[in-house]
Structure 1
Amino acid sequence: MRVGLIVDSACDLPFEFARKHDLFVLPVTAIIDGQTYIDYHDPVRTQEFYQSGLLDKGHEAETEAFSTEQIQKLFLEKIVTEFDVAFCETVTRSRSQIFQNASEAMNAVMANYEPARKAAGRDGKFSMRVIDSKQIFAGQGLLAAHTLKLIGQNLSKNALRHEVESFTDKIYTCVIPRDLHYIRERARRRGDKTVSAFAAFLGKALNINPIIFGQGVEGKPVAKTRDFNVAVEKVMNYAVARVEAGLLTPYVSLSCGLSWTEIEDLPGLNRLRDACEQNGVELLLSQMGITSAIYVGPGSICLALAAEPHEFSEYQ
């Protein structure tokens, strides 16, 4: 039984890790200044976007999920013909249409997959499941890495689905947005009022960099600093201490909306690397993808790990 894993391009993972594990990325459409781009999570294309400045707040940028028909076509051409069982983990359904469209596409595929499978020379039945990751960015990447680990354990498809769906609630995420005003403007265009105008003004006027912490997207501010590097160091301190205390999966996922030179200069990054190495944990360090950067803003950072219930303050 060959099991395949699908994520969308809001999922941040190192390119080499995704390629090594044959991860299929469901594209997202990015619309910037009226020009349409397809985000395949290609690292070269992503780097070009950062260098061009297209992701900066001076540009009109938004993302759009592939339609049900587009996703159905991809599933029939790329998934049905290659795998016997497939799991599609999407960015949280509360922030995107991807889960809904992928679910509708799955239903259509399950009713009509036989001809495509037969033409590809694959025997036997095909089954599929679309899962709401309840995560964004690095959190979604962490879930994908854990799922790949479970796939390697040769669990039954029902056991695998149960493990993945229960694991989503064990992921904790830290986000440091670089510009609250940017997030508010992007959220306003989506009809999302979770970032108030006052908070955006306060962050801009006083140069405040908040740390948003919580399970999945249910985060809340746990610290406010007037220096981005101070905020980063707090998150790194938290991650190091939590790694040393023990994790529920041997991964820490960290995605950064920065150039690689800026990423390597992040305070505390090498300490986190050392802590991961000493504790048998793999640090999944990636440049934030186009879709993620449009959502939370260039310059932002997202870190995710899985652990028993805890508070951010316990590891400061």
Structure 2
Amino acid sequence: MRIGIVVDSACDLPPAWLDAHNVHLLPVTVRIGETSFVDLRDERATLDFVEAHVTERGHTAETAAYPSDRIKALFLEQLVVDYDYVFCMTITRHRSQIHDNATHASFAVLNEYRPIRMQAGHTTPFALRIVDSQQVFAGQGILPVEAVRLREAGASAPDIRSRLEFLAERSYAYMVPRDLGYLRARIKHRGDKSVSLLAALIGGALDIKPILHCHRGDTGPVGKIRGFEPAAEKLFAFAAQRVRAGLLTPTLCLSYGGELDQLHALPGYAALASACDEHHVERFETVMSLTGMVNVGAGSLTVGFAAPPHAFA
């Protein structure tokens, strides 16, 4: 069975890895004033756009999920011919319209694919599954990496589906925002309740950085540290602790809202990398998606993994 994999561009995985494994992309469009940018996971283009538009005005940005008619066209024009079963994994439905758009498109795809496949010489049925990753940014990377591993190992579509649904419930993302002034403005613009405006205001005055957490679609603060670099070091040490305790997949995803050299220079990164190497956990590192940087600010850090239940400490 030919199995296809689709993610949206908020998913923080390296573009080279996505290309190498033929993972298809649902791009997110970001608009700031009269300027728009289609996020195609081009790291250089993303950083250039951030420098030109996001730093000062990014908190006012509007993001547009890939519309259902475009998703339908992607499937009917390409995917129903190239594959027999497609997994489409999206950012948590609590944060974006992408999951709902993909679900809406899937009904039309399943009603209309048969003549297209028959014309291409395929007489077998086509199936697809829309999977809510229940995650954001680096946390989204766990499921597609596992889907590729299972596909390459020859796993069946039902087995892959079961595994992805299992991991979606057990995936975690942790994040340290760099600029709380930006985050405060963004929260106010969105009307977001994940981090209180008062906490962000006080934190900005004292240079206290919250450590934010996403699990099963819910987001909120789990800790606070004075200064960005100490907060990053604390997060890296915690991630290394989880690696040593045992992850549910041999995967750790990291994304950073800037050049990756800056990520590598953060205190605690080398110790985390060493722990991953020692325990045979593969690191996937990338520039944060434009969606991520618009929502949490440039220079922010996210870490994602799948693990048994735990508390941040």
Q: Deviations over 1:141-192 (max 9, x none)?
A: 1221122222233333223212211211111221111233423433443343
Q: Which amino acid aligns with 1:157?
A: A
Residue of structure 2 equivalent to 1:67: 67
User: For residue 16 of structure 2, what is the aligned residue in structure 1?
Assistant: 16
- Alpha-carbon distance in structure 1 between the residues aligned to 2:27 and 2:252: 24
Q: Per the alignment, in what secondary structure is the counterpart of residue 199 of structure 2? A: helix
Query: What is the distance in 2 between the residues matched to 1:182 and 1:64?
Result: 20
User: Does the Cα contact within 8 Å between 1:136 and 1:216 map onto a contact in 2?
Assistant: no
Contact 1:139–1:216 (Cα < 8 Å) also in 2: no
The offset of 1:48, in angstroms, is 2.1
Q: Which residue of 1 aligns with 2:163?
A: 163
What are the within-5 Å matches in structure 2 for residues 73-152 of structure 1?
Answer: 73-152=73-152
Task: For structure 2, list consecutive stretches of 5 or more residues without a partner in the other structure.
Answer: none
- CA distance, structure 2, for counterparts of residue 119 and residue 88 of structure 1: 24
What SS class does the counterpart of residue 203 from structure 1 fall into?
helix
Q: Give the TM-score of the pair, scaled to structure 1.
A: 0.92
Q: Secondary structure at the match of 1:104?
A: helix
Residue 56 of structure 1 aligns with an amino acid whose one-letter code is T
Q: Is the 8 A contact 2:150 2:160 kept in 1?
A: yes
Give the equivalent residue in structure 2 for 1:291.
Answer: 291
The aligned amino acid for 1:225 is I
8 Å CA contact 2:4–2:86 kept in 1: the answer is yes
Task: Classify the secondary structure of the residue corresponding to 1:41.
Answer: coil
Q: CA RMSD in A?
A: 1.8
Return the alpha-carbon distance in structure 1 between the equivalents of residues 156 and 9 of structure 2: 27
My pick for the range that moved more, 298-307 or 143-152, is 143-152
Deviation sequence 1:48-73 (CA, Å, 0-9, x none): 224x3322143431211122112111
Question: Could you say which residue in structure 2 is the equivalent of 1:54?
Answer: 53
Q: TM-score, normalised by structure 2?
A: 0.93
What is the distance in 1 between the residues matched to 2:250 and 2:170?
A: 13
Cα 1:187–1:64 shift into 2, 3 Å: farther
Deviation of residue 214 (structure 1)?
5.0
Distance in 2 separating the partners of 1:130 and 1:193:
27
1:243 aligns with 243
Amino acid across the alignment from 1:147: A
For the pair 1:174 / 2:174, whether they are aligned, the reply is yes
Shift of 1:76: 1.5
Amino acid at match of 2:70: Q
Given that residues 173 and 216 in structure 1 are in contact (C-alpha distance below 8 angstroms), is that contact kept between their aligned partners in structure 2? no
Contact 2:194 2:221 in 1 (8 A): no
1:231 corresponds in structure 2 to: 231
Matched-pair contact (CA < 8 Å) for 1:213–1:312: no
Give the superposition deviation at 1:249: 0.3
Runs of 4+ in 1 over 4 A off after TM superposition: none
In structure 1, the partner of 2:269 is 269
- Specify whether residues 101 and 214 from structure 1 end up closer, same or farther in structure 2 by C-alpha distance, changes over 3 A only: closer
When structure 1 is superposed on structure 2, of 240-249 and 226-235 the one drifting more is 240-249
Q: Residue 253 and residue 69 in structure 1: after superposition, are their counterparts in 2 closer, same or farther (change >3 A)?
A: same
Instruction: Deviation per CA, 1:168-225: give whole Å up to 9, x if none.
Output: 1111221111233423433443343333221221122121111123524434433212
Q: CA deviation at 1:121?
A: 4.1
Distance 1:149 1:231, change over 3 A: same
Cα gap change, 1:54 to 1:216, in 2 (>3 Å): farther
- Note the C-alpha offset of 1:47: 3.0
Q: Which has the higher mean CA deviation after the structures are superposed, 295-304 or 218-227?
A: 218-227
The one-letter code sitting in structure 1 at the alignment partner of 2:9 is S
Indicate if the aligned counterparts of 1:4 and 1:79 stay in contact, CA closer than 8 A.
Answer: yes
